[in-house]
């Protein structure tokens, strides 16, 4: 069995430093690089005490909950953004519903713009005091994720795949869902398909790097493989109905005769604006242009025409996240982590049809 001395020799530090790091002595002044190296060596050597306390590299000891379970939630988005696009609102409803049904208390909700404290681990620890677990909703930078994983309470990440051993997350496979929508249009006979929606991932993991939205990236792949359209048919915009209206109106004004026979729209909120622009310019849907949206928001079924869209079970995502977190709170952490992908479903309604029935 490895000893503190073995770890100290491998990590090239003193035995005292190893002992204080593995016992989370916050008075110890040591670099994060040294701290991580010690944990990595201890993990590799299967050092029993570190493993039992840690549950994984660099994690704080976590105790099972006693008494009422109190959870907190961190949002990446603002209240305005939540109202403009109900995708995240629906996930939050699922979180709240599962908390009520399970008897857990959702006590604190933090929004990212109010959390300058995320920049320091000690400040985030203060915010998490009194909580048994943390629900992290949306995409955060790698630094912020690392801080949250170092907390003495477990976290579950919603709509953010955290590729780290021991981390729990619940996501939707946006790329697969977008491919299903494009396959549907192509199977219906469409060969000239455009895109309207987000381009850059607005919730990118690292804010100094450019990450493409998974739906947009999937469309570009199909565009290259199947020659679906030219760059003139790709309209990158924001995520609101107003953004969709402006993007589609610009496309119409550039030449209605050159419009594709179908558009894949990256969110239903954007699709609402797209449909409005087409209506104002008297372009028939689906007779001239088919529209497929994404999310299946509550109003999608009641639009005119009713919107064909990819149904994302966002409320189920929230419920599942709470279930995972409560299991960890009650039973202790697991070393592997659980990765849950929620399926999607294509809801075919009246905004899409075969292009062979088009009346140009």
* Cα 268 from Cα 307, distance rounded (Å): 8
**pLDDT per residue as tens digits for the range 63-99:** 455 568 999 998 876 665 656 667 888 898 999 999 9
Helix ranges (DSSP H) in 103-236: 121-127, 142-149, 174-187, 214-226
Asked whether the predicted pLDDT for residue 217 surpasses 50, the reply is: yes
Q: Which residues contact 87 (CB under 8 A, 6 or more apart)?
A: 267, 295, 297, 312, 314
The pLDDT value given to residue 67 = 64
Given a contact cutoff of 8 angstroms between Cβ atoms, the answer to whether 4 and 18 are in contact is: yes
pLDDT at 287 over 50: yes
pLDDT given for residue 303 in this prediction = 94
- Whole-number Cα distances in Å, 357 to 194, 289, 306, 308, 352: 18, 10, 18, 17, 11
Confidence at residue 288, expressed as pLDDT on a 0 to 100 scale:
96
Question: Exposed, middle or buried, 252 (CB in 10 Å: 0-12/13-18/19+)?
Answer: middle
4-54: CATH, from 3.40.1000, 3.90.226, 1.25.10, 1.10.260: 1.10.260
Kindly state the average pLDDT of the residues 180-205: 87
pLDDT band at 207; cut points 50, 70, 90: very low
pLDDT tens sequence across 298-345: 899 999 999 999 999 999 999 999 999 999 999 888 778 899 999 999
pLDDT in tens, 131-162: 999 999 988 888 888 888 888 899 999 998 88
Looking at residue 82, its pLDDT comes to 59
Domains 70-172+314-343 and 174-311+346-357 alike in fold: yes
**Can you tell me the distance from the alpha carbon of 68 to that of 330, in angstroms, rounded to the nearest whole number?**
11
103 vs 90: CA distance, rounded Å: 20
Instruction: Copy the structure tokens of residue 13.
Output: 């530090």
Q: What confidence category does residue 60 fall into, taking pLDDT thresholds of 50, 70 and 90?
A: very low
Architecture of domain 70-172+314-343: 3-Layer(aba) Sandwich (3.40)
How distant is the alpha carbon of residue 332 from its chain centre? 25
- In this structure, are residues 197 and 234 in contact, taking their beta carbons and an 8 Å threshold? no
Place of tokens 């040294």: 34
Q: What is the rounded average pLDDT for all residues in the chain? A: 83
Residues in CB range of 21: below 8 A, 6 or more apart: 28, 30, 34, 35, 38, 39
Nearest to 164 by CA among 41, 330, 339, 317: 339
Residue 332's region, left for phi above 0, alpha for psi from -120 to 50, else beta, is left
Which numeric CATH code is attached to 174-311+346-357? 3.40.50.2300
Q: What's the Cα-to-Cα distance from 130 to each of 65, 66, 68, 106, 113, rounded to whole Å?
A: 11, 11, 11, 12, 22
Contact predicate 158/93, CB 8 Å: no
Residue 114 pLDDT: 57
What is the predicted pLDDT for the residue at 136? 92
* Preceding amide of 308 cis, omega within 30: no
Q: Where are the domains of the chain?
A: 4-54, 70-172+314-343, 174-311+346-357
203 pLDDT band (50/70/90 cuts)?
very low
DSSP code of residue 208? T
| Ordered DSSP codes for 24-49 | T-TT----HHHHHHHHHHHHHTT-HH
Secondary-structure breakdown of the chain: helix, strand, coil percentages, each rounded to the nearest 5? 45, 15, 40
Give yes or no for a contact between 106 and 95, defined as CB atoms under 8 angstroms apart: yes
The pLDDT tens digits for 224-267 are 999 999 999 999 998 889 999 999 999 999 999 999 999 999 99
- Tell me the three state secondary structure of residue 292: strand
What tokens does 35 get? 């701290």
Grouping H, G, I as helix, E, B as strand and the rest as coil, residue 102 is: helix
Residue 120 has pLDDT above 80, yes or no: no
pLDDT value for 123:
63
Q: Rounded to two decimals, what is the model's pTM?
A: 0.74
What is d(CA 97, CA 93) in angstroms, rounded to the nearest whole number?
6
| pLDDT score, position 116 | 56
What are the residue ranges of helices labelled H in the chain?
4-11, 15-22, 32-44, 48-54, 79-84, 86-102, 121-127, 142-149, 174-187, 214-226, 241-253, 268-280, 314-331
- What confidence score (pLDDT) does residue 347 get? 97
């Amino acid at each position: 069995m490895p000893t503190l001395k073995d770890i100290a020799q491998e990590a090239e530090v003193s035995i005292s430093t190893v002992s204080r790091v593995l016992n989370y002595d916050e008075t110890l002044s040591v670099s994060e690089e040294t701290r991580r190296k010690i944990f990595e060596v201890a993990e590799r050597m299967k050092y029993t005490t570190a493993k039992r306390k840690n549950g994984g590299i660099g994690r704080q000891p976590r105790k099972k909950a006693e008494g009422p379970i109190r959870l907190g939630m961190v949002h990446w988005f603002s209240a305005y953004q939540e109202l403009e696009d109900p995708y995240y609102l629906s996930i939050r409803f699922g979180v709240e519903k599962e908390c009520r049904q399970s008897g857990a208390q959702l006590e604190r909700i933090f929004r990212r713009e109010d959390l300058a404290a995320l920049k320091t681990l000690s400040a985030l620890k203060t915010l998490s005091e009194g909580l048994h677990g943390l629900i992290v909703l949306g995409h955060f930078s790698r630094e912020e994720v690392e801080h949250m994983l170092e907390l003495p309470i477990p976290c579950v990440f919603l709509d953010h795949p955290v590729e780290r051993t021991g981390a729990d997350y619940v996501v939707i496979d946006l790329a697969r869902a977008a491919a299903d929508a494009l396959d549907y249009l192509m199977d219906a006979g469409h060969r000239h398909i455009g895109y309207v929606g987000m381009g850059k991932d607005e919730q990118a993991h690292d804010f100094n790097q450019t990450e493409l939205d998974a739906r947009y990236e999937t469309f570009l792949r199909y565009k290259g493989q199947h020659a679906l359209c030219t760059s003139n048919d790709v309209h990158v915009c924001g995520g609101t109905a107003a953004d969709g209206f402006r993007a589609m109106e610009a496309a119409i004004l550039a030449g209605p005769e050159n419009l594709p026979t179908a558009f894949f729209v990256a969110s239903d909120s954007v699709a609402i604006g797209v449909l409005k622009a087409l209506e104002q310019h008297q372009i028939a849907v689906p007779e001239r242009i088919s529209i497929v949206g994404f999310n299946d928001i509550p109003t999608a079924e009641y639009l005119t025409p009713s919107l064909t869209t990819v149904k994302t079970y966002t409320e189920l995502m929230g419920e599942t996240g709470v279930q995972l977190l409560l299991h960890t709170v009650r039973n202790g952490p697991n070393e592997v982590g659980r990765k849950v992908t929620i399926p999607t479903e294509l809801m075919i309604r009246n905004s899409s049809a075969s292009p062979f029935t088009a009346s140009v």
